[in-house]
Chain A
Amino acid sequence: EAQVTQNPRYLITVTGKKLTVTCSQNMNHEYMSWYRQDPGLGLRQIYYSMNVEVTDKGDVPEGYKVSRKEKRNFPLILESPSPNQTSLYFCASSFKGGNQPQHFGDGTRLSIL
């Protein structure tokens, strides 16, 4: 089944403790992206990747890192999480091109105390 898989689905952690949210897709998509969703603010793009070893900033990249060493994986790294990064995070992927629909994962809810 074609899917985008995020792990973990839920995480409660403390300020400053490094964490990684993994994202994996099995559709051979070149493009992958991370979003966060906060009440009243909709979906905001954090980082995106056009292909392996190619990443770029979205609208809200501060406090996050990403890497794209393999085509299927696009982990989101919070080196020193802070409470303002408490949010619902979504990973998405698509083939390259403006006419390509994105496929989203089920989301990861992060709570940083």
Chain B
Amino acid sequence: DAKTTQPNSMESNEEEPVHLPCNHSTISGTDYIHWYRQLPSQGPEYVIHGLTSNVNNRMASLAIAEDRKSSTLILHRATLRDAAVYYCILRGSAGGTSYGKLTFGQGTILTVHP
């Protein structure tokens, strides 16, 4: 299974941009990169996903390296409500059952200072 590596923790100040990195050097050509976040006392929630091109949505942006071995989740202006654990995972799309088995890892704990 393709695995991801993230820093254990990061800190940011409110209203500043945050760049959360993820390494996935064993990614296959058909793996999608997904990001989730988990707020305190809640279940994980979907943030964004991408395959090759950079992606933007109302929550964040996803920048994917050209070789796809790393990606960065960008929160453009961090707020106190963005303090959470952020998970980067890979989800296969090669057909069959490749999208079924998922490995989350420990994620990155983001602390946002007022």
Contact = CB atoms under 8 A, between A and B. Distances in A.
Interface of A: 31, 33, 35, 40-45, 48, 50, 56, 58-59, 90, 92, 96-107
Interface of B: 30-32, 34, 36, 42-46, 49, 51, 87, 91-94, 97-107
A59 B106 CA distance: 14
B99 A96 contact: yes
A50 B87 contact: no
B21 to A, nearest CB: 17
Given A42-B107, A98-B32, A101-B34, A33 B102 contact: yes
A40 B98 CA distance: 27
Contact of B91 (A58, A98, A103): A98
A45 to B, nearest CB: 6
A26 B107 CA distance: 28
Contacts of B43: 90, 92, 104-107
A31 B105 CA distance: 20
A107 B106 CA distance: 17
Given A97-B93, A98-B92, A107-B43, A45 B106 contact: no
